Structure 1
Amino acid sequence: MTVRERTQAFEAQFLSSKAVLSADTKGRERPEEECPLRTPFQRDRDRILHCKAFRRLKHKTQVFLSPEKDHYRTRLTHTLEVAQVARTIARALQLNEDLTEAISLGHDLGHTPFGHAGERALRQVSPCGFTHYDQSVRVVQKLEKEGRGLNLTWEVINGIERHTTGEEASTLEGRVVRLADRIAYINHDIEDAIRGGVLREEDIPEEIHRVLGRSRTQRITTLVNSVVEHSVDTICLGDEVQKQFDQLHSFMFDQVYTNPKAKSEEGKAIALIQHLYCHFVMHPDKLPGEFAVIRDRDGGERAALDYIAGMSDQYAVQIFEALYVPKRWSI
């Protein structure tokens, strides 16, 4: 037996009957020869981890725009925290950890610069519409590797596409990622908001504290334990924990996600993104060479969307300055 075959035999013997076995994957759009060492889901995880879009996440906003201090989350650290929470849940439920991790690492590859402000900016200005989860699928299918895509398995793509809203993923592993994403971002956003002086721990309502806990660690522990205790045919929280978790999300929406202090620069970010989009739609010949194929195949608007969505915060500002900010005269 190869190493991969031993791993797949282990999966068949020890994973839950509700788990997706890597040997049973629905496969890839372009069939490939099997790897002797890694299962298909392990290969997907590695492809995502080594792709360019994943590396760019380190310079993309999570909640606080381009924070100057080191300890605020970025889109990359958020992704790693999601993967950690999701793997803990998957292991406890005897689901496929490799599939869960691959979806986790790929779920935000299509996120724009400046977080959800950038996403709203592109959705408002583009007739193509824009969502970060559809863009994440586009990244892995059409943009990475000079347009060839990563050729991921069906299960990973399905989990990435359905990780946030609308219809749930077809696999329990994908549903784990969807809930782990919410568990991670709400709790680390609380910590970042406290660090930024936007929120105090004691501002959180007492009933939420009583049920979920009074610290990030306590809340994540409560939520993960509740998922493990109550998930059978689907992935869910216990009723009281779900109620207070929803209350916490509403509280964060009111106190942080729409807080003028935390979002004071978003208007500028939206204007910057929309100016860049309009510029490259009007001047598609100015797009970098790797987007020429997209421009010729899918049109200038689609190419402009792909280019801007892939930018880091810093790169978007750099391009804007090069286009619109006058430079000092020098001889």
Structure 2
Amino acid sequence: MNIREQTEEIERNILSSTATHACDTAGRQYPEEEDDLRTAFQRDRDRIIHCKSFRRLKRKTQVFLSPEGDHYRTRLTHTLEVDQIARTIARCLRLNEDLTEAISLGHDLGHTPFGHAGERALNDICQEHPLEDGSTAFHHYEQSVRIVERLEKEGRGLNLTAEVRDGILHHTCGEQAHTPEGHIVRMADRIAYINHDIDDSERAGILKESDLPQEVTAVLGHTKSQRIDCLVRSVVRCSGDGIMRMEPQVETAFDKLNDFMYRSVYVNPSAKSEERKVPMVLEKLYEYALDSRNLPEHLQKIAAQDGPRRAAVDYIAGMTDPYAVELFQQVYVPHAWRHM
């Protein structure tokens, strides 16, 4: 046996009967020779970590637009927190940790600049200007799959396994993933963002710990660590047969916390005042990107194959916050004339 085959044998011996085994993968878009060191899911994880889209997450908004301060979350730190929570749950339930990690690390690759404000703006653009494939909506989870299938590596994609792509596609809403590892990431994503958004909101002066509903903190705890620990332990205690669950009282408190955060932060005028500028910026960048000559070379090829509107949306969705602002200023803001 080579090392990969030994690892696959270990998976068969120690993982739960409901776990997804790497040796049973449904395969990749394009057949590849197996690696002698890494399983299929380990290779997927590595490909995601080393791709350009993953690196750009460090300069994309999580909740607060381009915050000044070293300790606010970005889309990258959010992804790492999701990964940590998801791996802990997977290990405790004896599910496939490598598959869980690959889905976690790839789940937000398609997120836009300026967070969900950017996603809403691109969705409005797609509704007003349907894409060549008939799409009239933009969702970051679909864009994440498009990145790994079509856009990364200069248009060649990452050629990930079906299980990783499925988990990425179903990590946030609608139909559940077809693997228990995908279910874990969906749960871990929510656990991570609600709790770290509370932490960032306190840092920003939007919230105080004492503002959280008492009936929530009485069940989940009074600190970020206590709440995450409570939620993870509840999932581990209650989950089985590949289905992720929490105790009813914990799930009810968690839902109330989500509702509180929506009212207090996610639509808070103080926290979201700058977001009103996002649609105009992205609309103007879309107009600019419709001229395929303004696109990077690999996206010019996408424009020729998939259409200029599709390529323009791909270009904008891949931008970081500062890149989008810099390009907008470069194209649309007059520059002072300097005598040479």
Report TM bin, short chain: over 0.9
Aligned partner (choices 132, 138, 141) of residue 130 of structure 1: 138
Q: Find the counterpart in structure 1 of residue 14 from structure 2.
A: 14
Q: Cα deviations across residues 181-221 of structure 1 (Å, max 9, x unaligned)?
A: 00000000000000000011100010000000000000000
- Say which SS state the counterpart of residue 263 (structure 1) adopts: helix
CA contact (8 A) 2:282 2:316 kept: yes
Q: Cα deviations across residues 27-69 of structure 1 (Å, max 9, x unaligned)?
A: 1111111111000000000000000000000000000000110
Matched positions, count:
330
The answer to whether 1:189 aligns with 2:190 is no
**Structure 1: how far apart are the matches of 2:218 and 2:315?**
46
Q: Find the counterpart in structure 1 of residue 171 from structure 2.
A: 163
- Say which SS state the counterpart of residue 19 (structure 2) adopts: coil
Q: Find the counterpart in structure 1 of residue 273 from structure 2.
A: 264
Structure 1 residue runs without a partner (length 5+): none
In the TM superposition, 1:1-331 aligns within 5 A as 1-126=1-126, 127=130, 128=135, 129-233=137-241, 234-281=243-290, 283-330=291-338, 331=340
Q: CA RMSD in A?
A: 0.7
What amino acid is the match of 1:3?
I
Structure 2 residue runs without a partner (length 5+): none
Moved >6 Å (runs of 4+): none
What amino acid is the match of 1:309?
A
**Structure 1: how far apart are the matches of 2:288 and 2:159?**
32
Q: How big is the shift at 1:97?
A: 0.2
**Structure 2: how far apart are the matches of 1:270 and 1:227?**
38
What amino acid is the match of 2:275?
E
Q: How big is the shift at 1:14?
A: 0.3
**Structure 1: how far apart are the matches of 2:280 and 2:103?**
32
**Structure 2: how far apart are the matches of 1:13 and 1:125?**
50
Q: How big is the shift at 1:280?
A: 1.8
Q: How big is the shift at 1:269?
A: 1.9
What amino acid is the match of 1:258?
V
**Structure 1: how far apart are the matches of 2:223 and 2:87?**
21
**Structure 1: how far apart are the matches of 2:24 and 2:78?**
30
CA contact (8 A) 2:289 2:315 kept: no
What amino acid is the match of 1:279?
Y
**Structure 1: how far apart are the matches of 2:68 and 2:164?**
34
**Structure 2: how far apart are the matches of 1:238 and 1:232?**
13
What amino acid is the match of 1:27?
G
Q: How big is the shift at 1:328?
A: 1.3
Q: Give percent identity, aligned residues only.
A: 61
**Structure 1: how far apart are the matches of 2:195 and 2:151?**
32
Q: How big is the shift at 1:284?
A: 2.6
**Structure 2: how far apart are the matches of 1:134 and 1:84?**
23
